[in-house]
Structure 1
Amino acid sequence: MYNIKFSEVTERLKEVLNTKSEDDLARSLEITAQAFLSFKKQNEIPSELLVRFCLLNQVSIDWLIKGEQEKTSDYVSIPIYNAKIFSEEKAKEPEHAAGFMAFKNDWLMSEFGANKAKLYLFHVKDDSMEPTLKNGDVVIVDKKNNVLDRDGLYLLRTEGAAAFIKRVQRLPGGSLHLLCDNATYKPIEAKTAQIENGDIVIVGRVVWSGKRL
């Protein structure tokens, strides 16, 4: 991604954070103090760092980079990831997103509260969960809910395979059913031990697909 002049954004970052400390700025960008000093010396900063900051702090990217528009935004951009990216464990970085979708900040706050910074969008690419989820649907995944504490729809991944959505049903004795809502697909039998040892990773719970789930 293209780079933004370091000197043009740091003053606005200080305004948002109400600080003059470069250590605070480095922490807000989730980089080391050494990396911050390196960007300062080069007088440029990678734009993906600013995108991530704006997503997490509800700051307008146009305002941060150019000083244009309002500082805060009525909308929050949530990154969209595909199954392959999730399988490669890159989905925690916005620069690996396939795109972004804007949601009203007020709606996200009412539906998900302070968890909205922990939300992903996932693009459904098969018919295994029809009629609940159709091929081409975009769903919201709450990555904070990555513990199997209830039955429901979860985004899962296994080593070497693309991420997938299944309806997880807990059974006595530590067994699990990974179910497809489409009856033409057979259920998968699994064990909670496979989650505990990392063979199956819970990326997060599917919480919205045009309606609350």
Structure 2
Amino acid sequence: MTDDANSVPNPENGIGTRIAEVAERLGSRKKAAEAAGVSVSTLNRWITGESVPVFAGVARLCLAAGVSLDWVATGSAVTTRASSGRNMDSPQGVQLPEGMSIGDFAFVPLYDAQCSAGDGAWNENCRVLTHISFTRYSLRKQGLTPDHLSAIRIDGDSMEPVLHSGDTVLIDHTRTTVEGEGIYILRLDGHLYAKRLQRQFDGVAIISANKEYEKIVVPRDRMDELEIVGRAVWSAGWL
């Protein structure tokens, strides 16, 4: 097999074992493959040494898991907690707050905002850009389960000034019915939108925060045509 310019050196020198450890930290090889932007079979070949890992993919994997790329690529040792102040329960090369370990955090996938039309899953053709870390405690306080969460970036100005283009929103996929008034993620014409939904006597109103966009009412007899991906439960963006 011929190495290319993007390949990580020394694949036989334990890199597969280290990639497997990173995958375990992310919870599964499927999640690790999504983070790296490769198939599960390709990730497995990296782990077994049947294929040379590609640098860009390993870099994305390390970013998602919060581990040192140098450690995955070379196996270089990390200094002890006594000499460096690092919590040795944390990923290599990452300093966590005193008393916390990597198990205290959940990593939620951030998808790109493109989505195919049709009857497939909302993220069928989506790509995982990275993972966002939340403390498990903060999610539990909100009644949220990490496995049922994902994040996307807002595209467009229809929800300004509440949400701006480029803002990141966290989606709870267990909430796919309108529970009072709130901001939900919808799939319309092959794209994802954040809109405020309001249950009314004759159906559900789709409301944009930007007054330049008109309110749309989905009649009660056409509610099955409204695809709700989940409810937005958190948002963040640059000031």
TM normalised by structure 2 equals 0.56
Preserved contact between residue 155 and residue 164 of structure 1 (Cα < 8 Å): yes
Which one of 130, 138, 141 corresponds to residue 111 of structure 1? Answer: 138
1:60 aligns with 2:67: yes
Whole-angstrom CA distance in 2 between matches of 1:164 and 1:189: 16
CA gap 1:92/1:61 in 2 versus in 1, 3 angstroms: farther
Which one of 163, 186, 192 corresponds to residue 192 of structure 2? Answer: 163
Secondary structure in 2 matching 1:130: coil
Whole-angstrom CA distance in 1 between matches of 2:66 and 2:201: 47
Which one of 109, 120, 135 corresponds to residue 151 of structure 2? Answer: 120
Give 1:173-212 correspondences, 5 Å limit.
Answer: 175-191=203-219, 196=224, 199-210=225-236
What's the C-alpha RMSD, in Å, of the aligned pairs? 4.3
Whole-angstrom CA distance in 2 between matches of 1:42 and 1:182: 53
Secondary structure in 1 matching 2:211: coil
Q: Which amino acid aligns with 2:211?
A: A
Which one of 68, 91, 97 corresponds to residue 71 of structure 1? Answer: 91
Which structure: larger Rg? 2
- Specify the alignment match of 2:82 in structure 1: none
Whole-angstrom CA distance in 2 between matches of 1:79 and 1:115: 13
Question: Which string of whole-angstrom CA distances, capped at 9 and with x for unpartnered residues, describes residues 40-83 of structure 1?
Answer: 4642246648846874xx45152444445652654877655554
CA gap 1:200/1:140 in 2 versus in 1, 3 angstroms: same
Which one of 18, 26, 49 corresponds to residue 12 of structure 1? Answer: 18
CA gap 1:158/1:35 in 2 versus in 1, 3 angstroms: same
Whole-angstrom CA distance in 1 between matches of 2:46 and 2:221: 44
1:93 aligns with 2:120: no
Higher mean C-alpha deviation, range 175-184 or range 85-94: 85-94
Question: Which string of whole-angstrom CA distances, capped at 9 and with x for unpartnered residues, describes residues 106-143 of structure 1?
Answer: 3xx343246446331313421x223322x335132225
- Specify the alignment match of 1:148 in structure 2: 177
**Superposition deviation, residue 184 in structure 1:** 3.0
Q: Which amino acid aligns with 1:189?
A: V
Preserved contact between residue 87 and residue 157 of structure 1 (Cα < 8 Å): no
Whole-angstrom CA distance in 2 between matches of 1:65 and 1:186: 53
Q: Which amino acid aligns with 1:112?
A: L
CA gap 1:44/1:155 in 2 versus in 1, 3 angstroms: same
**Superposition deviation, residue 12 in structure 1:** 2.0
1:139 aligns with 2:168: yes
- Aligned-pair identity in percent equals 18
Query: If each structure's helix is expressed as a fraction of its own residues, which one has the higher value?
Result: 1
**Superposition deviation, residue 200 in structure 1:** 3.7
Whole-angstrom CA distance in 2 between matches of 1:170 and 1:52: 41
Secondary structure in 2 matching 1:209: strand
